Structure 1
């Protein structure tokens, strides 16, 4: 079986879910709390590729889940057991529940069929959230992981998906981290060991198959 045939088999729309990770305005938008990351995800084309994948998923009947990281205005329930959490408290843009910062960022489109899963704690979009139960109830076997950041949340999502028995597919040009040269190294030496890697075009080629669902 060729790599294309293998990818096509994995991306059967009936058992595939596309997960976008922290593609929210306060992270990847023009007024990001993390401007270096926002510039990288846009200049690299990763955000545009996420939007293309989401559009193709909508057209092909693949379920989309958007994983959003946020916090209450009073900070209750948020972790402080990592430098990242404490640094986030001091950022000029806060990912506060109900604000523009925690809306999915353009050009990604959200439809009524999508799930938007919000977490108030932790580093992973899967661990301790509704994502895993939703995946199981949807009959998911393959999770396409996209978004940010390649530094923390993306590897967390891949590891958690694999640990729970799902196959992770990562479109390598639809994720981003900082600095720019870190992402390909992390992909080559970490994600390649546990996930199926592909390009956005390769994934799109599989999602665009005519499917009745």
Structure 2
């Protein structure tokens, strides 16, 4: 885990974006298409930690971006080239555009200044979604990654962001996957090699510091 001092420079509000990955009702909400993942995200405190981070980001003027995965009812533009996609298309809860399933899940709040990025295809919220130019236009240097799942979308986002030249901070207690023991193993053996690993409390402490201290 990174120390507060190590994180302070990386988490300058002027050059940091907080990304929530697939924290939508149809994934982590009460009516989730993936109940095991939803239960893990809620029982572990991950959703609560994400909500805390989003609230602190709003107070510290850190840009927040919510990445949502959705699908047209007719399936146009959606992938079908992996078992995951084919299985998702048969689930009783569908992430249809405009439905309740693709709303950002409670208790996470969405402010007017937040950016919601919706994708119809692929595994990653970063690659091929237009997120990269938006981040560059925002002056982003550090991307703080939270959300689900540690199995696929979160590591995909981390790898893509690193390949694009961003510094990535992964908040270990603000991501979830299944089974529960997989997430710490993924963080320890893979994500820690390419990203700074932090905790929610450490990030919150950095953002609560005066900006002069953050930029010192």
Instruction: List aligned pairs for 1:7-156, cutoff 5 A.
Output: 7-156=7-156
| C-alpha separation in 2, matches of 1:172 and 1:3 | 13
The 8 Å contact of residues 21 and 68 in structure 2, kept in 1 or not, is answered as: yes
1:177 paired residue number = 177
> Does residue 1:194 correspond to 2:170, yes or no?
no
Secondary structure of 1:174 counterpart: strand
Q: Could you tell me how far 1:4 is from its partner in structure 2?
A: 2.1
Moved over 4 A (4+): none
Range moving further from structure 2, 175-184 or 3-12: 3-12
TM-score (norm 1): 0.97
Q: Structure 2: give runs of 5+ residues left out of the alignment.
A: none
Q: How many residues are paired up?
A: 211
What CA RMSD, in Å, does the superposition of the two structures yield over aligned residues? 1.0
| C-alpha separation in 2, matches of 1:211 and 1:76 | 46
| C-alpha separation in 2, matches of 1:128 and 1:142 | 19
Secondary structure of 2:77 counterpart: coil
Q: Could you tell me how far 1:40 is from its partner in structure 2?
A: 0.1
The 8 Å contact of residues 18 and 144 in structure 1, kept in 2 or not, is answered as: yes
The 8 Å contact of residues 142 and 168 in structure 1, kept in 2 or not, is answered as: yes
| C-alpha separation in 1, matches of 2:49 and 2:9 | 22
| C-alpha separation in 1, matches of 2:42 and 2:34 | 12
The 8 Å contact of residues 60 and 209 in structure 1, kept in 2 or not, is answered as: no
Q: Structure 1: give runs of 5+ residues left out of the alignment.
A: none
TM-score (norm 2): 0.96
Instruction: List aligned pairs for 1:155-174, cutoff 5 A.
Output: 155-174=155-174
Cα shift readout 1:130-166 (whole Å, capped 9, x = no counterpart): 2111100001000000000000000000000100000
| C-alpha separation in 2, matches of 1:45 and 1:95 | 24
